[in-house]
A = this chain, B = another copy of it.
Amino acid sequence: MGDKSVQKKKYIVETARQVFVEKGFKTVTMKDIVEACGISRGGLYLYFENTAQIFAAVLKMEREENGDVFAESIKEDATAADILILFLKEQKKELVRKKNTLTQAIYEYYFENNLPKKENVLKKQFDSAVKIIERLIEAGVEAGEFACEDFAGTARNIMYVLEGLKIASQTMGITAEAVDREIMYILKSLGVEE
Contact = CB atoms under 8 A, between A and B. Distances in A.
Interface in A112-134: 112, 117, 120, 122-123, 126
A47 interface: no
Contact of A185 (B111, B156, B170, B172): B156
Main secondary structure of the interface of A (DSSP, over half): helix
A122 B169 CA distance: 11
A171 B111 contact: yes
A21 to B, nearest CB: 12
A27 interface: yes
Interface residues on A, range: 35 or more
Nearest to A159: B164
A122 B170 CA distance: 11
A2 to B, nearest CB: 13
A90 interface: no
Interface string A180-192: 0110111011000
A75 to B, nearest CB: 28
A78 interface: no
Given A160-B165, A167-B163, A108 B110 contact: no
B153 A185 contact: yes
A185 B188 CA distance: 16
A42 to B, nearest CB: 12
Interface of A: 24, 26-27, 104, 106-108, 110-112, 117, 120, 122-123, 126, 150, 153-154, 156-157, 159-168, 170-173, 181-182, 184-186, 188-189
